[in-house]
A and B are shown apart, each in its own frame.
Chain A
């Protein structure tokens, strides 16, 4: 009976190994618990599930398997999985949409309707205008067009709709707290380690000790040296323009991994393309920093990683005043070239799939500014990018970047 449970769990995406299952059986046999369904459930969870992410699929599988066998029916999750609700309305709607929903009776009512429909609905569903599924005009589901729709589920590309300007966007904060699945990313980032010995001598230097002792003859002469530390310095730029929305999760993972991996890490945010200023904070006007100042503040051994889809109107790159949300005195491409000249160690990570790059004109333009340095935001791409960043610096530039024209705005 329990052996089937093992496969049910694996089918539901809970990564259980044989070893853990044996431990679970031992625990059952070892009379750790009273013969009680609840206790049995807790025991199974503590022995078989090793990450709170899998609690929800585990609960479902447990309920599914023991349904009817015992009074575990109560465990069937009638409620909506928490992850769907956790971020609340701010994440899912723009302020205008929120206002509209408010006028239609508020978010709570919408959720109430959602729950009802979910109970009515039994099967997966795609298209149409009532049931929850994909590609429909019902307010619930993903990939749809209803302005007050609730997006259901994490996967799937939303229809990209251009959202006008800075001020109105609710930028999802790239907090470093998201650490799901970041282990591989960290392993890739590790390639960018540069060990040097700096600071307090706190380690015995055996070779030097032997050498010095031999030289002095009788007395031991203990030599110490500083221990090895990673001293690579990184500047990280994130595009938080509207078209990046489907990639937010991967960017968050990259950001949180980079934050723990690199001690000297500075991060900045921009919208579509880097112009004369960047943002320190992802959702505030106050943290503005002039890009020109930035080019002078950090020296050329900083490694620069730019994350963006580089998908924009070519005017945003080629023309002064071409930016979508402010008047830019100089074209975006000029700024990208300045960055490239100032920081020879720079790469561009593009979350769009590599085989689609050639369909977007602006990606081609950005690639010209970063020749051979655009990589897809995948594990392989990241690994290649880190290798590129590790290479020794090309010869220093001859002239400093020219002073940009003063700008208004």
Chain B
């Protein structure tokens, strides 16, 4: 058990509930499942936790083709077959052809590590079930060498999900859960201050005003999120858009400047236009 606590970092503002969730997961050595709108810093969290606790981080990015075994180890039979033809001595030991996965690395690391399993919902619907025992007991069995890999130091496991698939109950029961809700204005101001320390007060105020109005628009497929706001403000600064322009902006008549950073698909631009049309009719 580490005596250190996670209270956010210089580059990451963590709300109180998030801090408690992380600390509870670290203390009780349970995986922490993090959900939330895209762009609210789920993946970032793992990196910042690692930084704050002074642990190295291992990341396992899950894709639609990922299966659970790849996280444990893979047996490279093809190389072994090839080596056997070349008369390589390595061939006699099967260990040379067992390629450890991220979980193996995390379990056998000398120092405790943070293991990020990113976007667990991207994989097949059965994927989380296949990791139950491994995450619970922090050990697994290697059939080829007949040995058990056991975590000397239980890693801090952080799992992110974008809610594309429902996760199985058995998996959920073994995790702690945190939903990063969209930051309120105060939190957002603190987050922006961390990312853009030189931001002019006036511009910050107006940009936030426009942004929060923007999120109110009904029927957007993808509401702009924290990361979009950070990018947008960066663009505003690069382009030297004065705060006055934003202050005079009327969202019911026009799109904000550089809106491409906020709206990511053309359906949302349509939604916006439809809304303007409706307002004109009323």
Q: Which residues of A contact B (CB under 8 A)?
A: 15, 17, 19-20, 23, 26-27, 30, 32-33, 38-39, 42-43, 45-47, 49-52, 55, 87-88, 90, 99, 102, 173, 175, 177, 179-183, 186-187, 190, 204, 209, 219-220, 222, 260
Contact = CB atoms under 8 A, between A and B. Distances in A.
Contact of A27 (B24, B163, B166, B221): B24
A27 B177 contact: no
Contact of B219 (A20, A90, A177): A90
A19 B173 contact: yes
Contacts of A99: 282
A365 B20 CA distance: 60
Contacts of B125: 183, 186-187, 190
A183 to B, nearest CB: 4
A52 B77 contact: no
B282 A51 contact: no
B231 interface: no
A222 B78 CA distance: 8
B35 interface: yes
B17 interface: yes
A43 B35 CA distance: 16
Contacts of A88: 218
Interface stretch (B50-58, B80-88, B109-117, B197-205): B80-88
Contact of B165 (A50, A179, A219): A179
Contacts of B175: 50
Contact of B84 (A46, A182, A220): A220
A173 B219 contact: yes
Contact of B173 (A45, A50, A187): A50
Contact of A32 (B16, B24, B33): B24
Contacts of A173: 219
Nearest to B169: A15
Interface string B45-85: 00000000000000000000000000000000110011011
Contacts of B164: 179, 260
Contacts of B177: 46, 49-51
Contacts of A260: 164-165
A55 B81 CA distance: 54
Contacts of B21: 42, 46
Contact of A220 (B20, B85, B169): B85
Interface in B202-260: 218-219, 221
